[in-house]
Amino acid sequence: MKINYKKLIFCLVVPLGLGFIVGMLSGSMDGYKNMVTPSFAPPGIVFPIVWSILYILMGISNYLVKEELNTNSALSIYNIQLGVNLLWSFFFFTFKWYLFSFIWILLLISLVYVMIREFLKVKKIAGYLQIPYLLWIIFAAILNFSIFLLN
């Protein structure tokens, strides 16, 4: 398989860039420092590292799916879940809607599950690369609900 580096870079820059912008606009790191968190909550520095890795995996998966034919369904769900993902930060950190954010992240989990299924149909590795993302947002949902209870 020949790699289209321009398309690959674009697929990587979109989630990484949007994630960075949303992180800066939502004040996520400052907001996290100022809330009561459960004992299992990781230190704040873990989040940008994990999300950078997950966004890179998203970009690679997106690229792999875009390289195949007839992938509109898979790419549509990818775009929708990315938008839902990015909005969560505003709901949680900016507006402090912890319960709503928990419900929103449950929607995200469902969308990511569907995205993985669609990606698996197109290119198995693209779906497998999203499993860490699904596991992370399940953990994030548990953390979100715990923060709702504590705050």
| pLDDT tens readout for residues 127-136 | 999 999 999 9
Relative orientation angle of helices 5-26 and 72-89, to the nearest 10 degrees: 20
pLDDT of residue 30 exceeding 80, the answer is no
pLDDT of residue 32: 84
Q: Higher model confidence: residue 25 or residue 129?
A: 129
Average pLDDT for 54-60: 98
Taking the alpha carbons of 21, 29, 46, 136 in that order, is the dihedral positive or negative?
negative
Domains of the chain: residue spans and CATH: 5-32+43-150 (1.20.1260)
How would residue 107 be classed by pLDDT, with cut points 50, 70 and 90? very high
- Encode pLDDT of 33-47 as tens digits: 889 999 999 999 999
Give me 17's structure tokens: 């860039």
Average pLDDT for 9-22: 97
How would residue 125 be classed by pLDDT, with cut points 50, 70 and 90? very high
**Cα–Cα distance measured from residue 109 to residue 70, given in angstroms and rounded to the nearest whole number:** 24
Question: In whole angstroms, how far apart are CA 129 and each of 80, 87, 98, 115?
Answer: 18, 22, 29, 11
pLDDT of residue 29 exceeding 90, the answer is no
Question: Residue 130 carries which DSSP code?
Answer: T
Region at 97 (left for phi over 0; alpha for psi -120 to 50; beta for the rest):
beta
**Cα–Cα distance measured from residue 97 to residue 93, given in angstroms and rounded to the nearest whole number:** 8
Q: pLDDT averaged over the chain?
A: 95
Contact between 68 and 124 (Cβ < 8 Å) = no
